[in-house]
Each structure stands twice: as C-alpha cells, then as structure tokens.
Amino acid sequence: MKRGVTLAVTQAGRVSGVQTPLSVAWTGQSEEYWPDMEGRDHKNTVTDFSLPSGTFFDGAMVHLLTTATLNRLQELYPMGCVDLRRFRPNLVVETRVGEEGFVENSWIGCTVGIGEKVRLKITAPCGRCVMTTLAQEGLPKDAGILRTAVQHNHGHVGVYATVVQGGAIRCGDEIQLDP
C-alpha cells in the first residue's frame, strides 16, 4: 500500500513509577516465541533460544527496504514469492535502473534525506527472523525466503534507521544519500 506518512523525532524516554532491572524482568531466554493464534500452523511450536541482554524484537524506529534488495532476493530465489509484506518495512525506496543488489547495506552510517525535510540516520542492517517464512494472507509458507537472505546477505533484509529530522513523506519524494 502506497501512502504518505509523517515522521517525528522522538525524545528520550523518562522513567516513572517502579523501576525493575531488565535482567529481572527478562532473562534473555525465551520459552515460547509464537503468539497464540487459532488456526495457524505455528500455534503449538515452542522454541528455545538465547537473546542478547536487553533486546528482543524491533531494533529501531524505522525499517527501510529498497526495491533493489527485493529484486535481488527474487533473482537468487526465483521459485519463491519474495513479497515486501513478508518483511514489514516502514519505508520502501524505489531504486534507480542499474542499482542492483543489497544497496542499502552501504548506507549504514549515512544520513538519508527524503523530500524537503525528513532526515534519517541509517544505523544497522535489519536481521530477519522466521516470521518472514510464515504463511500469511496471499503468501504461502516458504522457508527458502529466509534461507536465501542468510546465504547471500547474512540474514539481513533492509536497514534500520532513526529519525534525525521529522516531517511529511509523500509517495514519489526524492531521496538523497549524505555520507
């Protein structure tokens, strides 16, 4: 779905109320990863894995993905259904003709200007998980999607970014990469 969005710079959070150390609230070990959703194949799947201290899911405010990355994944895995809905990005950048591969990987550490005002700091690659392989409306279950990302791009699909300067983004806005 294409639509305009407005991004805002977030201020640092403040602590209020009872403070519980994260090490007490979260041990870094997950016993059950899957949500309880009736009628889903993964409903009774239990996994056991370690997580880095202080982390769990989304690593940043913005997940940016390029059409070059989607195209490259499809080239590498032609029998798969590489669809951007699997990766749930906040922003999809349509790359120019001739820009190929996982181009946004080279943007890490750079600032991306979008339109007249918005500035994003590209902070890290976006590591993907098993959720990208699950069946969803209009898309079949496909473990090859994640396998391809792991084999060819260290399991990364897109990049994370933080908002440096907020503002409105409209479909068709130009982007500028500032090192």
pTM score of the predicted model: 0.72
Q: Cβ distance 166 to 7 under 8 Å?
A: yes
Q: What's the pLDDT tens digit per position in 118-158?
A: 999 999 999 998 889 999 899 999 999 999 999 999 999 99
Superfamily of domain 58-179: PK beta-barrel domain-like (2.40.33.20)
Any idea where the domains of the chain sit in the sequence? 58-179
Q: Which residue has the higher pLDDT, 75 or 31?
A: 75
What number is the average pLDDT over the span 90-112?
A: 95
- State which amino acid sits at residue 177: L
pLDDT digits (tens, 9 = 90+) for 45-86: 555 555 455 444 456 789 999 999 999 999 999 999 999 999
Q: Which residue has the higher pLDDT, 3 or 177?
A: 177
CA-to-CA dists, residue 102 to 17, 87, 128, 130, angstroms? 44, 14, 14, 20
The per-residue pLDDT of the chain, averaged, comes to 80
Cα 9 off chain centre by: 19
